[in-house]
Structure 1
Amino acid sequence: MPAGTGSRHHGIELRHHPRHPADGPAEDREGHRHRGRCLVGRIRGRHSRRDDRCRRDRRRGRSRDEGRPAGRHRRRGSRQDHRNASRRGGGRLIVVDGSPALSVIIVSFNTRDSTVECVRSVIDDAGVADVEIVVVDNGSTDGSVEALRTAFPQIVVDDTGENLGFARAVNRGVHQATGELVVLLNPDTVALPGSLRALVDFEAAHPEYGVYGGRTLTPAGALDPSSCWGEPTLWSMFCFATMLSTVFHGSKTFDPESLGRWQRDSVREVPIVTGCLLLIRRDSYESLGGLDERFFLYGEDAEFSIRARRQGLRPVIVPEAEIVHENGGSTSGSHRKMAMIMAGKTTMFRLIWPRGRARVAIGLLLVGVFVRAALETATRRPRRTWSVAWATRADWLPGYPHAESAIFGRPSIREEIAP
């Protein structure tokens, strides 16, 4: 399709932009040290000290650049200087042909403090003049929009006024973005230094993969494996139904969706890169039609990766791209979250598989929920997440859009999916 033209997918117009040529290869990047809560603390401390310095400078009536070393805050070069610079030549991400090389899309919902910290980490990692940041706020009531616009007047903050769900909000953000590369980033994450750079460098050196993810850590510094998963199969669903995936957690045979005990510490192709950190070229995203807006929350990123692989892309993990992920910042209540996860799974099965296979998978999913609910009751566990999921199965079993209406008690405008 010619540059500047667009297409529509599930009610959203997607614009197509020309692809810019990559510059030379970049290899042998230095490995990251183990980071955890102490590193996040240092990041927060740096923000605090910087903010204190800025406030002190304002009281003294001088700008941020006055009295600073010229090497750190010198005036940026011309557009031609940027075009002549290597995209991977060290330093910061650059502007290409007057547009940012990278657009970071963040979808927030009542995560004010986490989103502010997430945006700060992106700015510190890449430089605000080099990266376009688009925050799509799904009708937050905690002052997120005001806080973001006050703290970062240079970024785009789109107040939707309602909860559109993740897929619609991401597509809306991509529609507004102008970068040739797009990164999806969760609001409850902190991008560790060099992470965005690592993704951009790897994509430029290895454009054949098409979809790129990273490595996620918990706030305590442990591995959070949720940056990528294996593709669901009838065998993996059988293992879920029979508890084999729980008894043999991390087994390549009986828990295949976990990808074994791999620590996400090496470059590796994976079936699914999740939306907490995902880089893709804009033209690839648009040619795939974006995220499927029939999803509300959970499952849309898995379906997107599966769809991308079927179109010839090869999702890959870049271990140098690390983020700290708090997990579930936009989702209130474990019971509601579990219902949405289950609805996402049943919706995905109906989209990626023929009707008969999808029905078998959903049946196995239902058996697995029942078995776990029965165990919760038998062992008298105080937390009854699976018991509630079983009791509310009529809400999530049909998938979206029915689940959205049932879980939130409101009508849905999403397109029905054939049972």
Structure 2
Amino acid sequence: MAQAGVASSSAPVTLTVVIVSYNTRIMTLKALETLYQHTHATRFDCVVLDNASSDGSADAIASAFPQVQLIRAPQNLGFARGNNLAALDCASDYVLLLNPDTELQDEAIDRLIDFARLYPKAGIWGGRTVFANGALNIASCWARPTLVSLLFKATGVSTALTKNRFFNPEAYGGWARDTVRQVDIVVGCFLLIEASLWRRLGGFSPKYFMYGEDADLCLRARAFGYHPMITPNAQIVHHVGASTSRTEAKAIAVMTSRASLIRDHWPKSHRGAGIFLMWLWSATRYLATRPLIASNRADRRARAAHWAAVWTARKLWLQGYD
């Protein structure tokens, strides 16, 4: 493993930090800079797997951070397989999955490790995420999708009432991520997991090439009796989506992962209804945004194109990942 960061050089390594990068050279360097700048009490190793970036990421990381163990993937393995490979030889007590488009703040890792030790039965832990301007980014955690939550999405109710905890249950509507709480899903941008649980689960399911792998991981952990938790005291900046340039491609990948979660984690009796609600969700958005094609505003035209692309690809994403 690479040279460990911080704490006494004789202390055992507590944590392995895993970063999977893809054409995010500047952001990855910043993530690593803040990782070492804001982690003081936790002795850690850091492994970066570069998914065959074309922007010089691997060379820049090797030059600026020689203490990092760098793995140069010959091709884009995706987020799930990339993390699995990077964490394969982990010998620490914990594994932290950290996105390359993040910046750590105020001893976030030290505080998250303390939180994990305080609530060991959670198995998986996460913190609070904010945007670069300091505004809350709610995407640090989610509730699992259900028939009710998909119905509210399909009918547009959850979009209209985003802050309502009943009508927007997947986003925990109205919760500012400012309290300690059990959640269904900790997002993989800043996800701490007990190393023994990571191995027990076999890491991420490789079928989830991009998006949904963290939800699948957390739901499988919950099936073993673990209860993932969030703390507001460990905060990071998450710039969101830096490695996905095409919003339509991202949307289709997200829809594919959601269909996969329904097929993998829902009772058989509910799956058909869940897939239908996914279809209905895309159909209603497609029809509602058709008039926007002729709009004078570029953002409205882009929204129409977005849902047109999702609707056109419905036969693909409704099947989920193989």
Q: Which TM-score applies when normalising by structure 2?
A: 0.92
Give the equivalent residue in structure 1 for 2:316.
395
Give the equivalent residue in structure 1 for 2:291.
378
When the two structures are aligned, how many residues end up with a matched partner?
A: 309
C-alpha displacement of 1:276: 0.7
| 232-241 or 352-361, which deviates more | 352-361
The one-letter code of the counterpart of 1:286 is: R
The one-letter code of the counterpart of 2:142 is: W
Q: Which of 78, 82, 101 matches 1:165?
A: 78
Is 1:262 aligned with 2:175?
yes
Alignment of 1:48-197 (within 5 A): 79=10, 95-96=11-12, 100-126=13-39, 130-197=43-110
Whether the 8 Å CA contact 1:134–1:177 is kept in 2: the answer is: no
Runs of 4+ with >4 A deviation = 75-78
Give the equivalent residue in structure 1 for 2:226.
313
What is the CA–CA distance in structure 2 between the aligned matches of 1:209 and 1:394, rounded to whole Å?
37
Is 1:286 aligned with 2:167?
no
Per-residue CA deviations over 1:332-360 (Å, capped at 9, x if unaligned) read 21011111111111111111023342221
The one-letter code of the counterpart of 2:99 is: N
Q: Which of 346, 368, 373 matches 2:259?
A: 346
Alignment of 1:10-25 (within 5 A): none
| 389-398 or 165-174, which deviates more | 389-398
SS of residue in 2 equivalent to 1:175? coil
Q: Which of 271, 276, 297 matches 2:210?
A: 297
SS of residue in 2 equivalent to 1:214? strand
Change (3 A) 1:77 1:300: closer
- State the identity as a percent: 38
C-alpha displacement of 1:206: 2.1
What is the CA–CA distance in structure 2 between the aligned matches of 1:385 and 1:187, rounded to whole Å?
25
What is the CA–CA distance in structure 2 between the aligned matches of 1:76 and 1:239, rounded to whole Å?
49
Question: Please, what is the CA RMSD of the aligned residues?
Answer: 1.7
C-alpha displacement of 1:138: 1.0
Return 5+ residue gaps in structure 1 as ranges: 1-74, 80-94, 401-415
C-alpha displacement of 1:362: 1.4
Alignment of 1:15-54 (within 5 A): none
SS of residue in 2 equivalent to 1:142? coil
Whether the 8 Å CA contact 2:14–2:42 is kept in 1: the answer is: no
SS of residue in 2 equivalent to 1:386? helix
SS of residue in 1 equivalent to 2:88? helix
The one-letter code of the counterpart of 2:60 is: A
What is the CA–CA distance in structure 1 between the aligned matches of 2:166 and 2:292, rounded to whole Å?
28
Return 5+ residue gaps in structure 2 as ranges: 1-5, 294-299
What is the CA–CA distance in structure 1 between the aligned matches of 2:186 and 2:275, rounded to whole Å?
22
What is the CA–CA distance in structure 2 between the aligned matches of 1:316 and 1:309, rounded to whole Å?
11
Per-residue CA deviations over 1:23-57 (Å, capped at 9, x if unaligned) read xxxxxxxxxxxxxxxxxxxxxxxxxxxxxxxxxxx
What is the CA–CA distance in structure 2 between the aligned matches of 1:271 and 1:78, rounded to whole Å?
37
Change (3 A) 1:77 1:199: closer
Per-residue CA deviations over 1:118-158 (Å, capped at 9, x if unaligned) read 01111111259922111111111110100000000111111
What is the CA–CA distance in structure 2 between the aligned matches of 1:247 and 1:339, rounded to whole Å?
22
Larger radius of gyration: 1
SS of residue in 1 equivalent to 2:244? coil
SS of residue in 2 equivalent to 1:226? coil
What is the CA–CA distance in structure 2 between the aligned matches of 1:318 and 1:328, rounded to whole Å?
23
C-alpha displacement of 1:77: 5.2
